[in-house]
A and B are shown apart, each in its own frame.
Chain A
Amino acid sequence: MASQEMEELVSREYTQGFVTDIESDTVPPGLDESTIAFISNKKGEPEWMLEWRLEAYRQWLTMTTPSWAHLDYPPIDYQAISYYSAPKKDEDRPQSLDEVDPKLLETYEKLGIPLHERAALAGVAVDAVFDSVSVTTTFKDKLAEAGVIFCSISEAIREYPELVRQYLGSVVPQGDNYFAALNSAVFTDGSFVYVPEGVECPMELSTYFRINAANTGQFERTLIVCDKRAQVSYLEGCTAPQRDENQLHAAVVELVALEDANIKYSTVQNWYPGDENGKGGIYNFVTKRGDCRGDRSKISWTQVETGSAITWKYPSCMLRGKDSVGEFYSVAVTNGRQQADTGTKMIHIGEGTRSTIISKGIAAGRSDQAYRGLVKVGPRAKNARNFTQCDSLLIGDRCGAHTFPYQEIGNNSATVEHEATTSKIGEDQLFYCQARGISEEDAVNMIVNGFCKDVFQELPMEFAVEAEALLNVTLEGAVG
């Protein structure tokens, strides 16, 4: 679809009023095996899928919440959460943008994420997740032509069961951790991407997640498989409107890169962080892992985290293939009373594997953040190399930043470098900018964006612009 066409589609007059609420088909709060059967049935899933979910659920029941993360939050009542919510008419839900509830599009606009702008930019295909059901998928034809599969995970389970069965849980097993187990049991939507052998995906793939109905947990499951010599760049963005109750988000993202494949996964995460006392934000417990299964494969995570009340997230790479490459570029910004415990794990298994970690943490207000990184080099990972750089910038003196670099080196031919700095935003830098007429707020933004430059330049262009804007919004009123 031409970008112009897209513009017209989304900018045309709304026929429905602005006040109409989207009706939800929501199950009552609570979780047991029948809830899971309900979800599986709703999704029209095959029997093996239900079994898989139940297996996960049974494992989850035996597990406990990880307590080691540098976070402080009240216990979550999993029985108070509703595990399924979908726009009422599941059968005739919109298949393209022009069928999308204008109210959804309008919400995107309000949140400053004009879908049409994004979609228009360089022909981005959009698979928006609204509550638990994917409501719109565009550019499918063009992708189909290239042989790329890009659809909701539910659709993939129905249409491409062999692929899903082969790869689902192959990177993040059901019982991997508490939140991954919960996700495996109750996931309701998410995206599936398969790029066939030798294909370079003709456009950047993009999914926007958002959470709408109150008290609805969001459990996406994303699976991206890049076959031999295939390439894809995937963008994920998240927003949520203001809420009074904390909301749980426990997504799982699995990436599989076969021989010479290249996956770039970028996230700009902008969930509601709660008010300045930390009330009402999103709890974000995500398991993201990439598996460089093939030789010379490469997986690159780039993330800009500005939202959530609580973030617990460690995008990781399993570097199995010989000479495979893992990268992690991260900017995490916390303000108010936000808490973030993020980082990455680079697991070097194959020979000649390389990884790079660049983490930039910015803490303002009374926020607290921790970087937790693990670099593990296995006995077979001859000549593995890692470079880690971890910088923290503090704004004001009531915030905190902590760095926990862990290294487990099981091979003495490995080269592992770690650099870390913590600095307060320089009074002298601020004065210099202000003495040139730049307001304190703009000066902070400028300095912070400069601090993050190494990461921003890894983001696709339009995402980088948005990331800067987000950072500025997040740090509003951080100084003075």
Chain B
Amino acid sequence: MTTVAATAHPAPAHHDDRSFIRKYVFSTDHKIIGIQFLFVSLFFLLVGGLLAMQMRWQLGFPGKPMPGGGVLPETMAPGGVILPEYYIQLVTMHGTFMVFFAIMPLLVGVYANFLIPLKIGTHDMAFPRINMWSFWSFFAAGLVMLASLFVPDGAARAGWTMYAPLSARHDLSGASFGQEMWSVSIILVGLSSILGSLNYITTIINNRAPGMTWFRLPLSVWSLFITAILGLLALPVLSGAAIMLLFDQIIGTHFFDPAAGGQALLWQHLFWFFGHPEVYILILPAMGMVSDIIANGSRKPIFGYHSMVFAIVAIAFLGWIVWGHHMFMSGMNPTLGSSFMVSTLVIAVPSAVKTFNWMGTMWRGNLRFTVPMLNAVAFVAMFVIGGLSGIFMAATPVDMFIHDTYFIVAHLHYVLFGGSLFALFAAIPYWYPKMFGRLMHEGWGKVHFWLTFIFYNLVFFPMHILGMAGHMRRIYDPTQYAFLQPYQPMNEFISISAFLLFATQIIFFVNFWWSLKRGKPSGLNPWQDNGLEWTLPSPAPHGNWERVPTVYRGPYEFSSPQVPEDYLPQTRRLPSDREPAAASAARH
């Protein structure tokens, strides 16, 4: 319906005469950088998934040759049978790829870059060149991490949490070069995140369009802003820790080596001081984008906008004082454990508030079940499970039993797959038109959604039961333990569901590629949304606006009685609207 309008829109006045390389490779355009992040991190998502499939094969069918495993070298899987030393590399690399190279860049790298300037109404980031470096250092980090799978002795072997001294001393882990590459790669990831965050923060503070006051920002921008602050302050700690780890590995320092006076728990404190804010980096942008999509899909203003903002801020503050909940059983002072327990339980409250507000938004709405909306609602339904299982683990006496079992694995997948990834399955088709000018296929999107939703739950829900049985995580062969043998059918069931879940993702990838060229042209505003980005042509042109727009209201004015339609764009001036000060000042 709006395709006609797209052509009617004035083309950007300035002529875009950048060379191909400057335009698409070493680009400083925030949208291209976002798209670069999208392609690269979708690739890493696939890599992470492939690693998981191999783990699931071993857990479901321990000791049996893996179909297609024959292509792997003797050092990994002789005759297709996975070796324990390869299995722990799989565990480590799966976690590392998913956290640092898939979910984090998909949420922050892609959407902070793509959305912030579009949604606040500016031409680009404050520092476009630094932004480009942020992408390229991420890319280099990814290459190093990927390459580490192929070096002698294989990749890092100490879990994505890289607990020392296992990670620090090659004689204890059996890995060598791969372990060092992990450290180098993580240092680069840190650099990338810091460069990105500093850009997002400066841009949001200084470059908002006239009338785009703080409390008119979409929740996606709010959450990306707070995420950037978390990244800015948390990643340097990880980088510092990774540098010390690298020095322990290559120049013989003793930070984490108790045999020479170092402290094993020091690594855990540094890692989790970063790590807990990191898990919020992995969920806040998802929450923000889901908020935008649910309001749009419900055709209703977001319920309790201000408390949504305060909940994000509260999570970000409390997120700094809960890291010890990963260390209840580590031998840390138990009194400290008590305070970490209380702070952790308290941090569940803002998450609850957000959940209820999403429900409040849907209440008495006029719900349109587009693919983004389906995935966004599934996000709420699944995140709740992850949040609630967090309460079990926060209660220290219960954590004594379920710590380091599959219960934890279930929890983290409910928040990261059920939460963050479902949010991405909502966000990708939602903003796809603004990236590529076309819509993703709706029918296949729905097939993908339903199959993913079903198989996902079949894979991860039973893991709670395994955890309650005491099934340890990161073990190569559960049948070693007599008490776990009765659970082998469940492991097998999970594995088969996991293969189906993985196969389902092919639908998504095919849909993604197919729609690039064949998707239905989307027009300016396919979802009838209020955000600034939807006033631009699809795909949005270089420089975005010829002249920055003026904003008259918040982003969630759906079904307003002021207009007959059920949406009211932020830029539309009604007779009752006043010019914001910044816009009129510039005119005089």
A interacts with B: no
